[in-house]
Chain A
Amino acid sequence: MVEFGFPAFLVLSAFLFACGLTCLATKRNAIGILMGVELILNAANLNFVAAARFVPTFRLEGQVFAVLVIVLAAAEAAVALAIFLNFYNNHATVNVENATDLKG
């Protein structure tokens, strides 16, 4: 019988991370990319909480990490969406492929 320990959580979080990276690479919509970032941040947070559970010296620290990351992610989403809407006002799209005014 398999006991699902720390490695199982690491594999799950690696899967979420890989999904996030794929989102970053394939989504052309800026909000889709932001969702990919949220996936990656959640993958990292899952690592923190799992480590808090399974690593004795990390019990409190892991939770502190996770709670602060949740706060920072919310702040990041707020600024990112403000910038996206601002871009939308000027370009009438949030498709990053249409961001082509700046080229060398």
Chain B
Amino acid sequence: MLPNSEQFSALLSTLSADLVAFLPELILAGGITLLLFLRLFPQLCRVHSGFVAAGVVALALTTLLGNGHVTTNADWEPGAFTGLLRLDLFSQFLRGLLLLFTLLLLLLCDQTGIPDRDDSADFCVLLLGGTLGLMLMTSANHLLMVFIGLEMASLPSYALAGFLKGQRTGSEAALKYVVYGAASAGVTLYGISLLTAVFGTGNLVTVTQGLGHMIADSESVPLLPMAGLCFLFVGFGFKLAAVPFQFWLPDVFEGAAAEVSAFLSVASKAAAVGLTARVLLLLQEANPESVRLAETLGIALAVVATITATWGNLAALTQTNLKRMLGYSTIAHAGYMLMALSTLRKDGMAAVLVYLVMYLVMNLGAFAVVAVLRNRTGAETIAACRGLIARSPAVGVSLTIFLASLLGLPPLGGFVGKFLVFSAVYDAGQAYAVAGSPTLEWVYSLLLGVGIVNTVVSAGYYLAVLRSAGLDEAEATDASGHALPLGEPWGVAVYLVGLSIVLLILGLVWNPLITLATSAIR
């Protein structure tokens, strides 16, 4: 049974436009194959594979940016690849973010040298494969693509977590990640199977419309699709590291290399936030006038956000390992992002997109400092930061800027992100009060209070590190009692200072970013 010529030409005509919009992903796929073939030529292996991979990602990024005109077509129904993907501005924004992050991470890896020359090809393939999966997650328009994206992003991440395979901690991190990850993927798939069985299709728009009507219309909600939705959110919650699915994260972050932790902390989270935001927006669009979705799902998400942020911040207070502390800080930031997502409103989603941009820069920076400390002192503890500013002004001041931004001090990027999230939560309360639900106004005001209290609590651990870096005497001193210079390579210093300057600029000039995020949400 072969396709006839009519079917074949129909296929070609629909594919040609889709493939152009899908070009960044195709370039990544080509890059993966290229890295594989490069090994055939040992002479070429002298070049660090990181540069090849960085070139591939940069090419994909420029293609994506040049593709703007393709994806702005708003009434492009039913979506790319006969409705499997939605390559709209929203996905364009997040895919751009992911590619930019992978590019920066590859440049960092080149400086810190965590995959040595022998392993760099494998490392880069895994990184590119993971990024490809994350990009599919952000543009999925079909539950099949949601699951494939989740798996494509997860499996390379499991291997990356155990990349330092001779180490006890690295292999333990990978074991914990793969066990919990596989379990959550299974539960997610079961949820997907229930949803598709009820609605007779995996198309995300059809499914969310059906769900939205069920939630908004009937008093007694049918059990089967709701169970399916809950199981689906288990998977999202795992990727976001929302309580009660956060337990894997600190162990994995501590055991994995700092560069890998940065990937899990930023890229994985950005894609999960994007996917959750897309599902939530679609659910809300199914029944835009009703507040019933906010009264059920919105409140549930607000509760999860509260517990997540509080748990992350309280647990971070007692940590001595810098990477583990940043892991808990990642959980806390997931809580802040969930606060914005729980508003179920477009400005909340736009706020979370801006937050993600800031989060990318500051968290990558913080993990980069950890990587430098590991290379130069052999320790990743907070104690290793003692006297850091005296030992190396560039690294110390950059760390100060990153942590102050994570805390949310003006005039840094982190402040802008937090401010937008909190004001979106406040606006949501006001808007729902106007829509006739005083309960929701009360809930979102409370959520705003929780967010602010949490920010104050988080000062406890961020400032403790900064005090150690700025005020404490360095442990390593020369004969006359002066702090020994850290001796970081100049490339790393330039990298860190560059990220700090970007963070400073983003904290001062943020209007273009908001415009971009708002237009991405439409």
Assess A/B contact in the complex (Cβ within 8 A). yes
A residues engaging B (CB < 8 A)?
6, 10, 13, 17, 20, 24, 30, 33-34, 36-37, 40-41, 43-45, 47-48, 50-51, 55-58, 61-62, 64-65, 68-69, 72, 75-76, 79-80, 82-84, 86-87, 89-91, 94, 96, 99, 101-104
B3 smallest CB distance to A (angstroms): 15
CB–CB B201/A102 < 8 A:
no
How many angstroms between the C-alpha atoms of A16 and B253 in the bound complex? 33
Q: List the 4 closest pairs (A to B, CB-CB), nearest first.
A: A40-B186, A47-B193, A57-B200, A51-B197
CB–CB B196/A61 < 8 A:
yes
How many angstroms between the C-alpha atoms of A36 and B183 in the bound complex? 8
How many angstroms between the C-alpha atoms of A67 and B159 in the bound complex? 24
Interface of B is mostly: helix
CB–CB A86/B174 < 8 A:
yes
23 contacts between A and B (CB under 8 A): A33-B179, A34-B182, A40-B187, A44-B186, A44-B193, A47-B194, A48-B196, A51-B196, A57-B200, A61-B201, A62-B196, A76-B155, A79-B159, A89-B165, A90-B166, A91-B172, A99-B176, A101-B255, A102-B169, A102-B172, A102-B255, A104-B250, A104-B315
The answer, yes or no, to whether B147 is at the interface (CB within 8 Å) is: yes
Chain B residues within 8 Å of A101, by CB: 168-169, 172, 255
CB–CB A17/B190 < 8 A:
yes
Cβ-neighbour of A51 out of B158, B168, B173, B200 (below 8 A): B200
Chain A residues within 8 Å of B158, by CB: 79-80, 83
Cβ-neighbour of A79 out of B155, B194, B200, B254 (below 8 A): B155
CB–CB A43/B196 < 8 A:
no
CB–CB A75/B189 < 8 A:
no
Cβ-neighbour of B189 out of A30, A64, A69, A96 (below 8 A): A69
Chain B residues bordering chain A, tally (CB within 8 A) = 46
Cβ-neighbour of B148 out of A30, A41, A68 (below 8 A): A68
Interface centre among B147, B187, B189, by most chain A C-beta atoms within 10 angstroms, is B189
CB–CB B173/A102 < 8 A:
yes
Chain B residues within 8 Å of A50, by CB: 197
How many angstroms between the C-alpha atoms of A19 and B96 in the bound complex? 42
With contacts A45-B193, A61-B144, A101-B255 known, what are 20 further pairs, Cβ within 8 A? A43-B193, A44-B192, A48-B193, A48-B196, A50-B197, A51-B196, A62-B196, A69-B147, A79-B155, A79-B159, A80-B178, A82-B159, A83-B159, A84-B178, A86-B174, A91-B168, A99-B175, A99-B176, A104-B315, A104-B319
B residues engaging A (CB < 8 A)?
144, 147-148, 151, 155, 158-159, 162, 165-169, 171-176, 178-179, 182-183, 185-187, 189-190, 192-194, 196-197, 200-202, 224, 250-251, 254-255, 315, 318-319, 321, 324
Cβ-neighbour of A58 out of B196, B255, B324 (below 8 A): B196
A56 smallest CB distance to B (angstroms): 7
Interface centre among B166, B169, B194, B196, by most chain A C-beta atoms within 10 angstroms, is B196
CB–CB B178/A57 < 8 A:
no
A-B contact count (CB 8 A): 144
Closest partner residue, chain B, to A49 (CB atom) = B193
CB–CB B144/A37 < 8 A:
no
How many angstroms between the C-alpha atoms of A57 and B198 in the bound complex? 11
CB–CB A79/B178 < 8 A:
yes
A25 smallest CB distance to B (angstroms): 10
Chain A residues within 8 Å of B176, by CB: 96, 99, 102
Chain A residues within 8 Å of B151, by CB: 72, 75-76
Cβ-neighbour of B144 out of A13, A64, A75 (below 8 A): A64
How many angstroms between the C-alpha atoms of A29 and B369 in the bound complex? 37
CB–CB B186/A41 < 8 A:
yes
Chain B residues within 8 Å of A33, by CB: 179, 182-183
Tell me whether A104 and B200 are in contact in the complex, defined as CB-CB below 8 angstroms, given that A83-B178, A87-B172, A90-B166 are known contacts: no
CB–CB B144/A44 < 8 A:
no
Cβ-neighbour of A87 out of B175, B182, B192 (below 8 A): B175
B327 smallest CB distance to A (angstroms): 9
Chain A residues within 8 Å of B186, by CB: 20, 36-37, 40-41, 44
Interface centre among B168, B187, B190, B319, by most chain A C-beta atoms within 10 angstroms, is B190
How many angstroms between the C-alpha atoms of A72 and B200 in the bound complex? 22
Chain A residues within 8 Å of B251, by CB: 102-103
Chain A residues within 8 Å of B175, by CB: 30, 83-84, 87, 94, 96, 99
Interface centre among B173, B183, B185, by most chain A C-beta atoms within 10 angstroms, is B183
Closest partner residue, chain A, to B255 (CB atom) = A102
CB–CB A90/B201 < 8 A:
no
CB–CB B182/A102 < 8 A:
no
CB–CB B171/A55 < 8 A:
no
CB–CB B194/A72 < 8 A:
no
Closest partner residue, chain B, to A85 (CB atom) = B171
Chain A residues within 8 Å of B165, by CB: 86, 89
How many angstroms between the C-alpha atoms of A30 and B162 in the bound complex? 16
Chain A residues within 8 Å of B147, by CB: 69, 72
How many angstroms between the C-alpha atoms of A32 and B309 in the bound complex? 33
Tell me whether A104 and B324 are in contact in the complex, defined as CB-CB below 8 angstroms, given that A57-B201, A62-B196, A64-B144 are known contacts: yes
CB–CB A87/B183 < 8 A:
no
